[in-house]
Amino acid sequence: MFDAMTSSTSSTPSTSTAALAGTFTLPGSDITLNRMGYGAMQLAGPHVWGPPKDMDAAVAVLREAVALGIDHIDTSDYYGPHVTNQIIRRALHPYPQELTIVTKVGNRRADDASWPAALSAPELISAVHDNLRNLGVEALDVVNLRMQDDQRQSDASVAEPLAVLVDLKRRGSIRHIGMSNVSARQVMEARSITDIVCVQNHYNLAHREDDALIDDLAQHGIAFTPFFPLGGFTPLQSSALANAAAALQTTPMQVALAWLLQRSPNILLIPGTSSVAHLRDNLAAAALRIPQETLAELNAIAANVTR
């Protein structure tokens, strides 16, 4: 549920800005995170393929993120492939003790840059080892098992691929396990098999199919991390969003991020960018408080979206 909060004009981020969004502790762990994180997908080249045009700029974004208080980064070794993790290692290794890196497995990249499923045991084991190698770590903090769209829609069993990650966790290659692109039924099945610390699904101001799931996860102390928090490849556009931004003297994208932070205390954000300036804009959302009447107007956006 939303909390009533007073409005506040966003300001230029300081070194403590990421902490202004509050913190969340992953269940069954000693990992307490600032709720405002960073998604590293855009650090790779166009279409998340190959190296970036400006490697120094990519490194600068990561270093600025950590300097501004971001303490969790979302990534995958199939971004690039391999490129994004190698940039993270170049920019931040040896990693700060407080930094948590969350990665995901379940896809691979084909020669045509497509994203085929990679959920067999050999593919999952190889993906975990690729992440370990390219990040330069002995164990991965959190690994999300990403299911495919058709599997989510059909509530396909997650037991077989999840068992592979459970075994890798037992062997010490993985510390914690999460799920990605999954239905509520799949989350329930996963939780019956092993401890799940987070769920990462498509969710934003206009795409709210997971409202009930978010509330259920909050009751169990499990984090929910929306991907495409700003609309993904189709940025959010709404007159209500634009009007709210104008009233709060900020940007529509900052309002969209602030709305997510106020939606539920278990939501962690990972907006991505390859620009330091855009990174700082995103972080300003951590200081923004949306008043209750404006929240009501924003909540109505989803009712006008055809799902």
Catalogue the active-site residues: 79
- Do 197 and 177 form a contact (C-beta atoms < 8 A)? yes
Enter the tokens of residue 83.
């490129």
Structure tokens at 95: 């990693």
Q: Is 263 strand, coil or helix?
A: helix
Whole-number Å distance between alpha carbons of 257 and 255: 5
Rounded Cα distance, 63 and 155, in Å? 39
Rounded-to-integer distance, Cα 244 and Cα 247, Å: 5
Mention every residue, 6+ apart, whose C-beta is less than 8 A from residue 14: 68
89 CB-near residues (< 8 Å, 6+ apart) = 134, 135, 136
CA torsion through residues 150, 217, 195, 226, sign: positive
Q: Are 272 and 41 in contact (CB under 8 A)?
A: yes
Residues in the chain: 307
- The Cα–Cα gap between 209 and 16 comes to 33
β-strand partners of 32: 25
> Which DSSP letter does residue 269 get?
B
Amino acid at 106: G
Tell me if residue 9 falls in helix, strand or coil.
coil
Q: Which two tokens stand for residue 57?
A: 């700029």
Pairing of strands 198-202, 174-180: parallel
